[in-house]
Amino acid sequence: MNKNRRYAVIIILVTNAILISLLESLIPIPIPIPGIKLGLASIMTLIAIVFLPLKDVLLVVIIRSFVVALLTRGVMMIAFSLSGGILSALVMALLYKKLYRFFSIKGISVVGAIVHNITQITVATFLLGETVILLYLPILLVSAVITGFITGSIGGMAISEIRKKELLLMTSK
């Protein structure tokens, strides 16, 4: 993939991730627990992991996390968004590149959602100095399994279609 095509793919993934995040923030979740969301922008991260080198994956995650945090939740949320997004992307990339025979895209997505939630709770505990926040973790972990599976299912279908139509010929695996 030449440099211009690579940049175009990165821009498309970032733009779609931002749009999905913004649209998702408008969808009311029928669970009255703050912080639970589908995490559909992770579909773009999964696509990036499969088709782009790790540095490009991280670029997609960093730009999306930064922009969405600023537009929807404010400057304070940047630490939460970046830490959860970067660490979950690193773990998902590692699973895909080194342990793919043991993990499907759905499984990788579930692990990514779990890592994202654990990271954000850990950051919140340190920033706020309150360990009581850790009591919220079991609820977030259950939601991570459910939302990670949904996101992974959609991401898996998107990746299959991209491969079938040969839209991105270079894979990072």
Closest CA to 121 of 112, 111, 132, 110: 132
Residue 172 has pLDDT above 80, yes or no: no
155 within a domain of the structure (yes/no)? yes
173 within a domain of the structure (yes/no)? no
Under the banding of pLDDT at 50, 70 and 90, the label for residue 81 is confident
20 within a domain of the structure (yes/no)? yes
In this structure, what are the phi and psi dihedrals at residue 38, rounded to the nearest 5 degrees?
Answer: -70, -35
* pTM for the full predicted model: 0.92
Under the banding of pLDDT at 50, 70 and 90, the label for residue 169 is low
Give the span between the Cα atoms of 89 and 113, in whole angstroms. 10
147 within a domain of the structure (yes/no)? yes
> Where residue 140 sits, what CATH number does that domain have?
1.10.1760.20
170 within a domain of the structure (yes/no)? no
Residue 173 has pLDDT above 80, yes or no: no
169 within a domain of the structure (yes/no)? no
81 within a domain of the structure (yes/no)? yes
Under the banding of pLDDT at 50, 70 and 90, the label for residue 86 is very high
The tens digit of pLDDT for each residue in 32-59 reads 777 788 899 999 999 999 999 999 999 9
**Alpha-helix runs per DSSP H in 69-104:** 78-99
Range of the domain at 118: 3-164
- Are 134 and 99 in contact, with CB atoms under 8 Å apart? no
- Helix, strand, coil share of the chain (percent; to 5): 80, 0, 20
Residue 92 has pLDDT above 50, yes or no: yes
107 within a domain of the structure (yes/no)? yes
- Are 40 and 48 in contact, with CB atoms under 8 Å apart? no
Structural domains of the chain, count: 1
Indicate the range of 4-8, 75-79, 109-113, 128-132 predicted with least confidence: 75-79
